[in-house]
Amino acid sequence: MNHLLALVLTGVGATLITDAWGLARKALLGVPAPDYGMVGRWIGHMARGKFRHDRIAAAAPIIGERTLGWGAHYAIGIAFAAGLIAITGVTWLSKPTLTPALVFGIGTVLAPFLLMQPGMGAGIAASRTPRPGSARLHSLINHAVFGLGLWLTAWAIAIAS
């Protein structure tokens, strides 16, 4: 299989697995799923020159913010898969191993901790949320699941190829 196609499918698959985890978490534990519409709102305001908000939910809605947010969510998943491949090399796609994917997935939690959450008004590593420790733990678990999803998807693609 073409390496670029495998990379894109790996990012999409890992993101789908993360989303499935979010649905299971909501059904089993009552933990709300992330609202990617708010991510879309944040990105939409960037086009207007505003990169930081006190509370993204209080910012003016952006037309198509939900679609924009979900699209960004999957594009970021693909970009993270590309980051893993940049570190491990394309040979990882044909013989994926768990450790690099899991370590990389957990490492991607720095993006929301240091960029998204502060930009959306939640503070560095969710420090301005009502329960920062819980928010951090959920973020860390979600990104570990993403790492697991990178490996599972790449493994499925390698087996199918």
Q: What is the pLDDT of residues 89-148, one digit of tens each?
A: 999 999 999 999 999 999 999 999 999 999 999 999 999 999 999 999 999 999 999 999
Sign of the Cα pseudo-torsion (104, 78, 33, 50, in order): positive
What pLDDT score was predicted for residue 73? 98
Overall pTM surpassing 0.85 (yes/no): yes
**Which amino acid appears at position 66 of this protein?**
R
Query: Is the confidence at residue 80, as pLDDT, over 80?
Result: yes
Lookup result for tokens 């999409």: 12
pLDDT band at 1 (very low <50, low <70, confident <90, very high): low
Q: Token pair 């998204």 is at which residue?
A: 116
Query: Could you report the per-residue pLDDT of 16-49, keeping only the tens digit for each?
Result: 999 999 999 999 999 888 899 999 999 999 999 9
Q: Which domain holds residue 129?
A: 3-160
Average pLDDT of the residues in 48-53: 95
Residue partners of 29: CB distance under 8 A and separation at least 6: none
Total residue count of the chain as it appears in this document: 161
Confidence at residue 161, expressed as pLDDT on a 0 to 100 scale: 87
State both tokens at 42: 């944040």
| Structural domain count, the chain | 1
Mean predicted confidence (pLDDT) in 52-77: 97
> Left (φ > 0), alpha (ψ -120 to 50) or beta: where does 131 sit?
beta
